[in-house]
Amino acid sequence: MSDLPWTPDFDTWPVEHNATALAHTTDTLSVTWSDGASSQYHALLLRENSPDAGTIHPKAREMCTAPTDIAEGLAIESAQVQPNGAVQVMFTDGHTNAFHPGWLRGIAWFGEEEVPEPILWRGEDQPEPPSFDGPEALKNPQVFLLWLEALRDFGVARLRGLPQQDGLLEDIVTRIGPVRESNFGRQYTLEIKDDPDSQAFTSDMLLQHIDLPTRETPHGLQFLYTRDNTTTGGEGLYVDAYRVAEDMRTEEPEHFHSLVSDVWEYSNRARGSDYRGSGPVVETDAKGRITGVRYNTFLRAPLKAPVHVQARAYKAYRAFCARAQNPRYLMSFRYEPGDLLAFDNRRALHGRAGYEAKGGTRFIEGIYSDRDDLHSRIRSLKRQLRQEAKT
């Protein structure tokens, strides 16, 4: 309904259920919904999210009330469902506010929500990245969204058939979010350099790794746009490090314990910079879920640790390295002109078969950005598509 109250955000809140009954104590509002569900809201949550200009900035939609601006012991005096379906609440500090029923329902606690789990893969089952038609994705936001969701879920996803165009890579990446620069610049070209500051700039085989483990938080996403490739060899070698780690959790628990707890330091070896980052190979959250990996065999600094820790950490690193090279886990494919490969740099290990540099050309551009930008764009694109569907 168009006359419903505004909400403290810019999201769409479809009204799929109506509030049919209200009850309250001094500090809690209970709402019963038309599908029989019920939800509860603390008075302080409602009060600080009240859609009035003194509480939420009507343009920025950010809170402009500090917790100390709200009376201690604030209580709910009364509550009623209005004819338009909004839920009106009167507070003891004199404020009366009406809340959007779609918003109230959407922010309610109905128990632990299922967080979308990453889709783990081994190369033997998933030999190629999920792939989408590039020109179509650039025209059609629904296809663009499918590409982004595949990147989120699989940690690797490809656009194919893109034209060869200066600036196209940055144009596509900035449709998602800002570029995150690095000591390799805003954009880099994978080419052979006479004095390389990374083995990436040679034609040698490259063992699977993440880039920039030398940063406090390594870059979350990497995009490789192949503009030309007539060389022999040089296939991309990708591994789902989450799959490797989960397999080690069950099959090699002692090594897994080292991977999540022993801290390695990484240092870049450039002449003009000295970046250092440290962390365990496998990062986990408070619930033990894997949230990232910091794995790169060729940028490890000497492990400063008691020798018994060195012993177990080296064994575990070797075991991880062996799995990462195992053909069961490897996704191996050729970079074809017009491909734009996106991958989660903190999940999908990437490597390269060596290639014959003579008699062919190889021109691949790369850019980094971060995971947050991907998640934000997925949410905002979905919101945009919902709004378009409504009109």
The binding site for Fe ion (CB under 5 A) comprises 211
Of 87 and 237, nearer to Fe ion (C-beta) is 237
Please, what is the minimum distance in Å from the beta carbon of residue 197 to Fe ion?
A: 13
Question: Do 335 and 364 form a contact (C-beta atoms < 8 A)?
Answer: yes
Q: Which residue intervals of the chain are DSSP H helices?
A: 43-48, 101-106, 134-139, 141-154, 168-176, 241-251, 253-261, 307-325, 371-390
CA triplet 155, 369, 339: central angle to 5 degrees?
Answer: 60
Please, what is the minimum distance in Å from the beta carbon of residue 351 to Fe ion?
A: 8
User: Phi and psi of 132, rounded to 5°?
Assistant: -135, 155
The residues that bridge with 188 in the sheet, in sequence order, are 366
Please, what is the minimum distance in Å from the beta carbon of residue 45 to Fe ion?
A: 45
CA distances from 104 to 100, 126, 312, 328 (A): 6, 41, 52, 48
Of 51 and 277, nearer to Fe ion (C-beta) is 277
The residues that bridge with 350 in the sheet, in sequence order, are 209, 238
Please, what is the minimum distance in Å from the beta carbon of residue 390 to Fe ion?
A: 43
Q: Give how far the C-alpha of residue 82 lies from the chain's centroid of Cα atoms, to the nearest Å.
A: 40
Of 41 and 320, nearer to Fe ion (C-beta) is 320
Of 48 and 211, nearer to Fe ion (C-beta) is 211
Of 211 and 365, nearer to Fe ion (C-beta) is 211
Distance in angstroms between the alpha carbons of the first and the last residue of the chain: 13
Q: Which residue is nearest to Fe ion (CB)?
A: 211
Is residue 222 classed as helix, strand or coil in its secondary structure? strand
Of 211 and 344, nearer to Fe ion (C-beta) is 211
Please, what is the minimum distance in Å from the beta carbon of residue 199 to Fe ion?
A: 9
Please, what is the minimum distance in Å from the beta carbon of residue 350 to Fe ion?
A: 6
